[in-house]
Structures are given as structure tokens and as C-alpha cells.
Amino acid sequence: MNASQSTETKSIAERAIRDLTTVGLAWARYGLTVSKVALETSAVTLQKTAAVLGDLSSTIKDKQAPAVEEPVVVEENKAS
């Protein structure tokens, strides 16, 4: 291998490393963006679910009949 081939090989290797790094960074940005959107969507979904559960709890509480207490019968012990 002569000097010009060595320089050319080094140049190709440097370009390949630079290009692969660029592609890797692009995929990393894409993954982070998708993750962000997924987390935001999940948060909105959880907020809506929490609101529905709160409404359901209030509805059940409002429709719940007041507890009826049974009368207490006290028997007197009559000693005759």
C-alpha cells in the first residue's frame, strides 16, 4: 500500500465514521421525539381516565341511599 492509498483509506474511514455518527444521532433524535410524544399522550390519557373515575365516584356517592339503622330492641330482664 503506497502513501496515496493510505491517505485515501484514512479519508474513507473518517467519512464513514462521520456518516455513521450522523445517522446514529438522527435515530437517537427520532427515538427521543417519539418517546416524548408517547409520554405526553399517556399523561393526557391518564388525566382523562382519572377525571372519569372521579366523576363515577361522585355519581355513586350521590346516588347512594342513606343507611337505614335498624331499631335497637332492648329486652328488660323481669325478675318475678
Q: Mind listing the pLDDT tens digit for each residue in 6-65? A: 899 999 999 999 999 999 999 999 999 999 999 999 999 999 999 999 999 999 988 876
pTM: 0.57
Cell of 76: 328488660
> How many angstroms separate the CA atoms of 36 and 28, rounded?
12
Q: Give the angle subtended at the CA of 55 by the CAs of 40 and 42, to the nearest 5°.
A: 10
Residue 77: DSSP 8-state: -
Does the structure show a pLDDT above 80 at 3?
no
Containing H/E element for 20? helix 3-63
Exposure class string for 16-40: b at 16+ Cβ within 10 A, else e: eeeeeeeeeeeeeeeeeeeeeeeee
